[in-house]
Amino acid sequence: MKHFLAISDLSSSEVQDLLDLAVRLKKEYFEKGNPPLFKGKVLGMIFQKPSLRTRVSFDMAMRHCGGDALYLSPNEIGLGKRESIADVARVLSGYVQALMARVFEHEHVLELAKWSNIPVVNGLSDYNHPCQGMADALTIQEKFGKKKGLNVTFVGDGNNVAVSLMHVSAKLGWNFTLASPEGYDLNPKAVEIAKNIAKETGSKLNFLRDPNQAVKGAQVIYTDTWTSMGQEEETAKREKVFPPYQVNAKLVNEADKDAIVMHCLPAHRNHELTDDVADGPHSVIFPQAHNRLHAQKAILARLFGVA
């Protein structure tokens, strides 16, 4: 891999390879600690959006493997405003060994990758969230193994997290269903990409309005906030549209008896996800969050060419 910008850029075998490496690095970390794979390497972390999991998981991934991370705030860079993205990419390429960017516009991370001569990792954009998707897949495989034909259902807004979950599901031969209100569907380009992947892997894609129908037989129920960062002006409108899509105990009971409930966090509790489900026996939201660390170690290791 030269960059890590979208799960759809990888082959199915490359996706599974990353997951297998994440499993190995996670086991190694808990048994004896990771070796200094990233010694002498610094990850520059560009943030346009605030973050808890992305910042801490990347920072600690570098530290655990003997490297370092440099946080660059929105005020320090002003990506595309104070200085052109092309210039930022070329300047930082001489200072650090890789870049991670958490941005509003997907074009910004693509532009960084275009002009950078070091690896660029997409830490989140308005189009997708591939690091989250890899952590999600790791969590699902830890529960169900490397089975094909799993039923993965996303309930709520067809947002960037849903795009990456759809693409990783298609790559691994899982069936993906989205239940969303009208007007909150997935990006059509992302759907077309997923359909092409599904033709190769046998994954089935379904797009429904009824959340109860969508979770029938699901082994995975996934939800996310109704209003993502950058959409705050839509909050009042969305609060009226999304309540039927709340993941609560009644909805979970419609799914497979061994279903897991996932959320990328931060969660607005008792909005998209009720407390009793978030803290209940089906929830894996905290192991899922912790798996960001291990999935991202694997991504960085492949980009650095050290594992």
Concatenate the DSSP letters of all residues of 75-131 into one string: HHH-BTTTB-HHHHHHHHTTT-SEEEEE-SSHHHHHHHHHH-SS-EEEEE-SS--HH
278 assigned to some structural domain: yes
Q: How far apart are CA 289 and CA 265, in angstroms?
A: 8
Q: Provide the 8-state DSSP code for 207.
A: E
Residues 247-261 have a mean pLDDT of 98
**Residue 307 confidence (pLDDT):** 87
The Cα–Cα gap between 146 and 77 comes to: 42
Q: What CATH number is attached to the domain comprising 68?
A: 3.40.50.1370
pLDDT of 60 over the 80 cut: yes
Check pLDDT > 80 for residue 132. yes
Enter the DSSP assignment of 284: -
Answer yes or no: are the C-beta atoms of 110 and 185 closer than 8 Å.
no
Digit-coded pLDDT (tens) for 140-150: 999 999 999 99
- Does residue 2 lie in a domain region? no
Q: Are residues 112 and 138 in the same domain?
A: no
Q: Are 79 and 46 in contact (CB under 8 A)?
A: yes
Q: Which residue has the tokens 């029938």?
A: 216
76 falls in which pLDDT band (50, 70, 90)?
confident
Residues spanned by the domain of 209: 132-288
Q: In this structure, are 29 and 143 located in the same domain? A: no
Residue % of the chain over a pLDDT of 90: 92
Terminal CA-to-CA distance of the chain, rounded, Å? 12
Catalytic (active-site) positions: 102, 129, 132, 224, 264, 292
Residue 1 forms part of a structural domain? no
SS3 letters for 211-262? Answer: HHHHCCCCCEEEECCCCCCCCHHHHHHHHHHCHHHCECHHHHCCCCCCCEEE
List pLDDT tens digits, range 270-299: 999 999 999 999 999 999 999 999 999 999
User: Do 247 and 165 share a structural domain?
Assistant: yes
Structural domain total, the chain = 2
pLDDT tens digits for range 176-217: 999 999 999 999 999 999 999 999 999 999 999 999 999 999
Q: Kindly state whether residues 124 and 185 are assigned to the same domain.
A: no
The whole-model pTM stands at 0.97
Nearest partner of 152 among 130, 173, 183, judged by Cα: 173
